[in-house]
């Protein structure tokens, strides 16, 4: 609906003015996630709980919806869309609802750019939320003790290293390879942010080496450095990872999450 002289367009969950999409106050029961897609809040909360409790992916959330709720629903012949959802709809619903809940708890309004793709529209709002959460909502951030913290160096140049216990599955946060750089990467496959890529992308990746990297490699022409890169690439291949998993799977009773010795195996089934 056009607001006439006020140059404001009103939509179900928001209004658009001066190129900005301003969401209404409160948490709606129905959220628009696409041009013709509207989803009940209860369904979105079901998706979120499925992700948290059973590790269900957005793709599987959409598949379950299409198989159980949208099955057999046929739109009129003159409609240019159907009732099926994709993983993009699930993620957009997840983002909008969680941002609305976060801002509503602080009596603030969600404002984003109206133009552009959904995947880019909420990036700034998500980044602002993450920065605030990291600074004010994690008391563990300021925790220091002799058991979990090690200091290397003296004075202002000392580096802090924390010990972290994980379950063996490491999901890295893509960031610039320059220590403490907060400039986001242009692409998650890049090593450096746009600012540091100009000077560091063509330098050998080995710590302490400033020789130029050879064409098509991340290291210089020094044989020992090339051997390090070769080992690094082999560790990322499926064959190397499957071999390590097979060795761990054959262990009868590992003492912890780290494999100790591949010789502790259960007898071969063919024996």
The string of DSSP letters for 85-135 reads: --HHHHHHHHHHHHHHHHHHHTT---EEESSS-HHHHTHHHHHHHHHHHHH
Asked whether the predicted pLDDT for residue 143 surpasses 90, the reply is: no
Assess if residue 15 is contained within a domain.
Answer: yes
pLDDT tens per residue, range 183-198: 888 888 888 899 998 8
What is the predicted pLDDT for the residue at 108? 93
pTM above 0.75, yes or no: no
| Coil vs helix vs strand at 30 | strand
The answer to the question of residue 120 being in a domain is yes
271, part of any domain: no
Residue 261 has a pLDDT of 47
Give the model's pLDDT for residue 262: 43
Local confidence band at 238 (pLDDT 50, 70, 90 cut-offs): low
Residue 62 has pLDDT above 60, yes or no: yes
Averaged pLDDT for residues 45-72:
89
Domain that holds residue 91: 4-70+82-136
Give domain status of residue 38, yes or no.
Answer: yes
Tell me if 204 is assigned to some domain: no
d(CA 176, CA 173): 10
Indicate left, alpha or beta for 233 from its phi (over 0: left) and psi (-120 to 50: alpha): alpha
Report the chain's terminal Cα–Cα distance, integer Å.
Answer: 76
Q: Does the pLDDT value for residue 64 go beyond 80?
A: yes
Q: How far apart are CA 235 and CA 228, in angstroms?
A: 11
Q: Which residues contact 69 (CB under 8 A, 6 or more apart)?
A: 43
Does pLDDT of 8 surpass 80? Answer: yes
Model confidence at 266, in pLDDT bands (50, 70, 90)? very low
- Residue 13 DSSP class: S
* Residue 223 placed within a domain: no
Task: State the pLDDT at residue 160.
Answer: 82
Helix, strand or coil for residue 155?
Answer: helix
Taking the mean position of all CA atoms in its chain, how far away is CA 196? 22
> Does 60 reside within a domain?
yes
pLDDT, position 264:
40
DSSP one-letter code for 140 = G
State which of 52-56, 129-133, 232-236 shows the largest mean pLDDT: 52-56
- What is the rounded CA–CA span in Å between residue 260 and residue 169? 17
Whether 143 is covered by a domain: the verdict is no
Alpha helices in the chain (DSSP H): 41-54, 58-68, 87-105, 118-121, 123-136, 194-200, 223-235, 238-249
Among the listed residues 33, 10, 34, the one whose alpha carbon sits nearest the alpha carbon of residue 22: 10
Q: Nearest to residue 112, comparing CAs of 124, 97, 94?
A: 124
Q: What is the mean pLDDT of residues 115-120?
A: 80
pLDDT computed for residue 191 by the predictor: 84
Tokens coding 167: 């379950």
pLDDT tens per residue across span 162-181: 777 766 666 667 888 888 88
d(CA 128, CA 184): 13
How many structural domains are present in the chain? 1
């Amino acid at each position: 609906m056009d607001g006439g002289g006020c140059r404001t367009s009103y939509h179900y969950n928001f209004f658009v003015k001066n190129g900005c999409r301003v969401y209404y106050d409160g948490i709606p029961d129905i959220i628009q996630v696409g041009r013709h897609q509207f989803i009940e809040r209860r369904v979105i909360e079901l998706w979120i709980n499925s992700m948290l409790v059973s590790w269900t992916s957005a793709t599987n959330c959409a598949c379950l919806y299409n198989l159980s709720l949208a099955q057999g629903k046929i739109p009129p012949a003159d409609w240019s869309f159907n009732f099926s959802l994709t993983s993009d709809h699930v993620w957009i619903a997840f983002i909008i609802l969680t941002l609305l809940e976060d801002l509503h708890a602080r009596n603030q309004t969600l404002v984003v750019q109206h133009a552009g793709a959904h995947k880019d529209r909420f990036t700034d709002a998500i980044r602002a939320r993450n920065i605030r959460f990291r600074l004010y909502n994690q008391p563990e951030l300021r925790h220091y003790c002799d058991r979990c913290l090690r200091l290397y160096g003296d004075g202002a140049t000392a580096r802090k290293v924390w010990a972290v216990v994980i379950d063996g599955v490491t999901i890295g946060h893509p960031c610039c390879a320059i220590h403490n750089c907060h400039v986001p990467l242009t692409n998650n496959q890049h090593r450096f942010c746009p600012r540091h890529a100009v000077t560091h992308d063509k330098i050998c990746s080995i710590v302490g080496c400033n020789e130029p990297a050879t064409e098509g490699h991340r290291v210089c022409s020094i044989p020992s450095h090339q051997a390090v890169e070769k080992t690094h690439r082999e560790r990322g291949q499926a064959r190397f990872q499957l071999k390590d998993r097979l060795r761990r799977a054959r262990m009868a009773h590992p003492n912890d999450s780290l494999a100790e010795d591949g010789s502790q195996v259960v007898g071969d089934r063919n024996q």
